[in-house]
C-alpha cells in the first residue's frame, strides 16, 4: 500500500524544466565533433549507407568486408531520414534514431516518475538519474543501436508496469503493442531484449506467488513468440550468404558465451556492469542505495506490486548480463531507465518523505546541483579534448577528396587503412584491396587514390607520377592518409594523351571473402 500522497509540486516547476533543458542539451552536444572513428560507429553507419548506395535492404556488409552482424532496423530508420532530408545529411540521419529514442525515454520517465512518486520530485529523480551522468549522454547521439534497443525494451517493461499499477488485464491493443516492441528490439539487436525482461518476469511471478494483488506481467505466448519467428525469417535470409553463419550466428551471438582460450570476445568477470553503473551514475546510485536501505522501503517492496516489478526488472536484467562472459559497457544501458523509475517509486515509500531526517524535496534539489557540474563538466572536457585533438580530421580529409573527385567516383579507389569510416567520408561504396588498387592505377583505370601512409611509403615509386592533393597528420587515429591524383607528364609536355591502353585491359579480381 502506498502512503498518503505528497504535496503538489514540492519543487518549483521552473527548476525541473531547467534540469530537463540541460539534459537535452547534453544529449545533443556530447559527441561533438561528429565522426565515425571509434566505438564501431562506422559499421552501423555503413548499414544505412549501403541500403541507399547499393540497395541492400535486408542483409548488409561491413565496410572492410564480411557480413554486418546486426539486424537492419536502425539502418532502415537512418535511410528513411536521409531520404526525408532530400538525400542529404548523413551525419544527422545516422544519429537521429538514437537521439529520438533518448528523448522518448526521457519524456516517459518525466511522466511516469511524477505518477509513481506523486509530484514533480519523482520526475526530477527519474530524468536526473537518466541524463545527469557520464554515461547516458554519450549514447544519445552515438551511431550505435544501444539507445534504440533500450527504448524498445523500456516501453515493453512500461506496459507491464501499467498493468500492475492499474490492476487491469491486458487488452488486445496492449498485447499488439508488446509484440511490436519486441519485434522492433529483435530487428535492432537480436533476441537480447528477452534477456533483459524475462528474468524479471520470472522473478516477479515467483516472489508474488502467494500475494493476492495484481500479477498481470505476461501479455501472452503468441506476442512473445511471433517476434522471434519473424527474426528467424531474417536469419534464414542471411543464411543464404556463406559467411553469415560463421560471422553472425557463431561469432556475434554464440561467441558471446565462449570463455577461456577459445573465447571469441573479451571476457570480464561478474561485477563489471554493476561496479561500472555505480561509478558512472553517481550521485544517483548512491541515493538509490541509501533509500533502499530504509526498512520501510524494503517492507513496502513486499506489498507494492509496482515496486516489486521495478526491482525484479532492474536486477533481473543486470544479473543476466553479469552472467554473460563477453561484456561491453554500452550493452547495459537497458537497465538504466527502470532503475530511474525505481528511484522515484522507492522514494515514495520513505516515512514522512524524509531520508535520514532530511526532507526528500530538499535532497531532490541538492542532488541535481551536484550532478549537473559532474555531467556537464565531464561532457565539456570530452568535447574540448575532441576539438583540440581534431577528431574530425578524417571527415574533413574525406570531404576534400570527395570535392576533388566530383562525379568521377568510378575513377577513384580507397584502400583500407583501418578507419572504416573513410569509405563514407570519401563517398565510395567500398574499400579496394591494395593489390587491386595498384593494378588499376598502373593500367590507368583510376585517377584518384586514397591510401594509408604506410602503404604509400612502400609503393610511392610505383605510383609516380602523381600530385599529393591532401594528407592527414593525426597521431591519435589508426592511420594517416594520402590522397593522390594521377598526373600525365606527357600531356604536360604538349603530347597527346593516350586514349586507350593497348593489349588486354586490366580487370581487377573480385575481392575474396575474409576468413
Domain containing 427 — which CATH number? 3.40.190
User: Do 297 and 365 sit in the same domain of this protein?
Assistant: yes
Of the candidate ranges 6-20, 131-145, 258-272, the one whose mean pLDDT is the lowest? 258-272
Beta strands 481-486; 466-471: pairing state: antiparallel
Using alpha carbons, select from 318, 299, 316, 317 the residue that is nearest to residue 307. Answer: 299
pLDDT tens column, 474-497:
777 778 899 999 887 554 434 444
Question: Is 362 inside any structural domain?
Answer: yes
Beta strands 448-452; 412-414: pairing state: parallel
Percent above pLDDT 70 for the chain: 91
Q: How far is CA 305 from CA 161, 243, 299, 511, in A?
A: 9, 47, 12, 58
Q: Please report the pLDDT score of residue 260 as a whole number.
A: 61
Using alpha carbons, select from 97, 99, 89, 86 the residue that is nearest to residue 49. Answer: 89
Residue 486 β-bridge partners = 466
- CA-to-CA distance for 190 and 70, rounded, in angstroms? 7
Residue 483, C-beta contacts closer than 8 angstroms, at least 6 positions apart: 397, 400, 401, 404, 448, 449, 450, 468, 469, 470, 471
Residue 511 pLDDT > 70: no
Question: Is 471 inside any structural domain?
Answer: yes
pLDDT tens column, 227-253:
999 999 988 988 888 788 777 777 777
Of the candidate ranges 209-218, 385-394, 395-404, the one whose mean pLDDT is the lowest? 209-218
What would the grid cell of residue 309 be? Answer: 516489478
Instruction: Tell me the pLDDT band of 61, cut-offs 50, 70 and 90.
Output: confident
User: Do 368 and 401 sit in the same domain of this protein?
Assistant: no
What would the grid cell of residue 210 be? Answer: 502467494
Instruction: Tell me the pLDDT band of 402, cut-offs 50, 70 and 90.
Output: very high
Residue 100, C-beta contacts closer than 8 angstroms, at least 6 positions apart: none
User: Do 151 and 166 sit in the same domain of this protein?
Assistant: yes
User: Do 99 and 207 sit in the same domain of this protein?
Assistant: yes
Average pLDDT over residues 6-24: 85
User: Do 179 and 118 sit in the same domain of this protein?
Assistant: yes
What would the grid cell of residue 16 be? Answer: 525541473
User: Do 238 and 371 sit in the same domain of this protein?
Assistant: yes
User: Do 365 and 478 sit in the same domain of this protein?
Assistant: no
Residue 367, CB half-sphere, CA atoms under 13 Å: how many?
30
- CA-to-CA distance for 144 and 78, rounded, in angstroms? 11
Using alpha carbons, select from 490, 415, 475 the residue that is nearest to residue 446. Answer: 415
Angle between helices 146-166 and 336-348 (to 10 degrees): 30
Q: Hunting for cell 585517377 — which residue is that?
A: 447
Of 388, 411, 441, the residue that ends a domain is 388
Contact 19, 372 (CB under 8 A): yes
Q: What is the dihedral of CA 193, 195, 198, 203, to 10 degrees?
A: -140
Residue 497 burial (CB count, 10 A) = 9
User: Do 63 and 180 sit in the same domain of this protein?
Assistant: yes
Residues 177-192: b if buried by 16+ CB within 10 A, e if exposed = bbbbbbbbbbbbbbeb
Question: Is 515 inside any structural domain?
Answer: no
SS3 state at 61: strand
User: Do 414 and 379 sit in the same domain of this protein?
Assistant: no
Average pLDDT over residues 186-215: 90
Using alpha carbons, select from 333, 339, 197, 325 the residue that is nearest to residue 271. Answer: 325
User: Do 379 and 434 sit in the same domain of this protein?
Assistant: no
Average pLDDT over residues 396-423: 90
- CA-to-CA distance for 303 and 306, rounded, in angstroms? 9
Residues 451-461: b if buried by 16+ CB within 10 A, e if exposed = bbeebbeebee
Residue 352 pLDDT > 80: yes
Phi, psi of 67, rounded to the nearest 5 degrees: -90, 140
Of the candidate ranges 122-126, 152-156, 331-335, 476-480, the one whose mean pLDDT is the lowest? 476-480
Mean pLDDT in the chain? Answer: 87
Residue 170, C-beta contacts closer than 8 angstroms, at least 6 positions apart: 163, 216, 219, 220
Question: Is 336 inside any structural domain?
Answer: yes
In 389-509, alpha helices (H) = 393-405, 422-426, 434-442, 453-463, 489-492
Average pLDDT over residues 33-46: 90
Contact 344, 284 (CB under 8 A): no
Q: Look at the pTM and tell me if it is higher than 0.85.
A: yes
Domain total of the chain: 2
User: Do 210 and 165 sit in the same domain of this protein?
Assistant: yes
- CA-to-CA distance for 399 and 2, rounded, in angstroms? 59
Instruction: Tell me the pLDDT band of 7, cut-offs 50, 70 and 90.
Output: low
- CA-to-CA distance for 148 and 3, rounded, in angstroms? 36
* Structural domain range at position 451: 393-492
Of 360, 388, 416, the residue that ends a domain is 388
- CA-to-CA distance for 384 and 127, rounded, in angstroms? 25
Question: Is 2 inside any structural domain?
Answer: no
Amino acid at each position: 500500500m502506498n502512503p498518503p500522497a505528497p504535496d503538489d509540486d514540492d519543487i518549483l516547476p521552473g527548476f525541473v524544466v531547467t534540469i530537463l533543458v540541460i539534459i537535452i542539451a547534453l544529449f545533443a552536444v556530447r559527441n561533438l565533433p561528429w565522426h565515425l572513428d571509434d566505438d564501431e560507429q562506422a559499421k552501423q553507419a555503413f548499414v544505412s549507407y549501403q541500403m541507399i548506395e547499393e540497395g541492400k535492404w535486408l542483409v548488409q556488409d561491413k565496410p572492410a568486408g564480411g557480413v554486418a552482424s546486426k539486424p537492419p532496423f536502425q539502418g532502415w530508420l537512418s535511410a528513411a531520414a536521409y531520404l526525408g532530408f532530400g538525400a542529404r545529411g548523413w551525419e544527422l540521419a545516422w544519429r537521429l534514431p538514437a537521439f529520438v529514442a533518448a528523448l522518448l525515454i526521457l519524456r516517459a520517465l518525466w511522466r511516469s516518475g511524477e505518477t509513481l512518486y506523486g509530484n514533480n520530485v519523482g520526475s526530477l529523480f527519474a530524468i536526473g538519474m537518466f541524463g545527469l551522468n557520464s554515461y547516458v549522454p554519450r549514447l544519445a547521439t552515438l551511431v550505435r543501436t544501444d539507445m534504440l534497443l533500450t527504448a524498445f525494451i523500456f516501453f515493453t517493461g512500461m506496459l507491464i508496469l501499467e498493468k500492475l499499477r492499474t490492476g487491469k488485464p491486458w487488452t488486445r491493443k496492449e498485447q499488439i503493442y508488446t509484440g511490436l516492441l519486441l519485434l522492433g528490439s529483435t530487428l535492432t539487436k537480436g533476441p537480447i531484449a528477452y534477456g533483459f525482461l524475462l528474468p524479471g518476469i520470472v522473478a516477479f511471478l515467483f516472489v508474488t506467488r502467494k500475494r493476492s494483488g495484481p500479477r498481470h506481467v505476461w501479455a501472452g505466448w503468441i506476442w512473445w513468440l511471433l517476434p522471434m519467428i519473424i527474426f528467424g525469417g531474417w536469419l534464414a535470409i542471411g543464411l543464404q550468404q556463406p559467411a553469415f553463419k560463421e560471422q553472425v550466428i557463431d561469432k556475434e551471438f554464440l561467441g558471446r558465451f565462449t570463455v577461456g582460450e577459445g573465447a571469441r570476445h573479451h571476457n570480464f568477470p561478474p561485477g563489471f556492469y554493476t561496479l561500472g553503473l555505480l561509478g558512472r551514475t553517481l550521485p544517483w546510485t548512491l541515493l538509490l542505495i541509501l533509500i533502499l536501505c530504509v526498512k520501510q522501503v524494503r517492507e513496502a517492496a513486499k506489498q507494492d506490486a509496482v515496486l516489486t516489478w521495478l526491482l525484479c526488472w532492474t536486477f533481473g536484467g543486470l544479473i543476466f548480463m553479469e552472467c554473460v562472459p563477453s561484456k561491453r559497457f554500452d550493452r547495459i544501458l537497458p537497465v538504466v531507465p527502470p532503475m530511474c523509475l525505481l528511484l522515484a517509486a522507492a522514494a515514495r515509500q520513505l516515512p514522512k518523505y524524509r531520508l535520514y531526517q532530511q526532507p526528500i524535496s530538499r535532497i531532490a534539489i541538492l542532488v541535481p546541483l551536484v550532478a549537473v557540474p559532474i555531467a556537464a563538466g565531464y561532457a565539456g572536457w570530452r568535447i574540448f579534448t575532441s576539438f583540440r585533438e581534431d577528431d574530425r580530421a578524417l571527415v574533413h580529409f574525406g570531404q576534400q577528396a570527395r570535392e576533388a573527385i566530383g562525379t568521377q567516383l568510378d575513377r577513384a579507389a580507397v584502400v583500407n587503412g583501418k578507419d572504416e569510416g573513410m569509405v563514407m567520408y570519401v563517398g565510395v561504396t567500398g574499400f579496394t584491396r591494395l593489390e587491386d588498387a595498384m593494378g588499376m592505377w598502373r593500367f590507368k583505370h583510376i585517377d584518384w587514390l586514397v591510401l594509408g601512409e604506410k602503404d604509400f611509403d612502400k609503393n610511392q615509386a610505383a605510383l609516380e607520377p602523381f600530385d599529393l592533393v591532401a594528407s592527414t597528420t593525426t597521431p591519435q587515429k589508426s592511420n594517416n592518409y594520402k590522397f593522390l591524383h594521377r598526373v600525365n607528364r606527357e600531356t604536360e609536355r604538349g603530347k597527346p594523351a593516350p586514349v586507350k591502353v593497348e593489349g588486354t585491359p586490366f580487370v581487377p579480381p573480385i575481392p575474396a571473402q575474409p576468413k
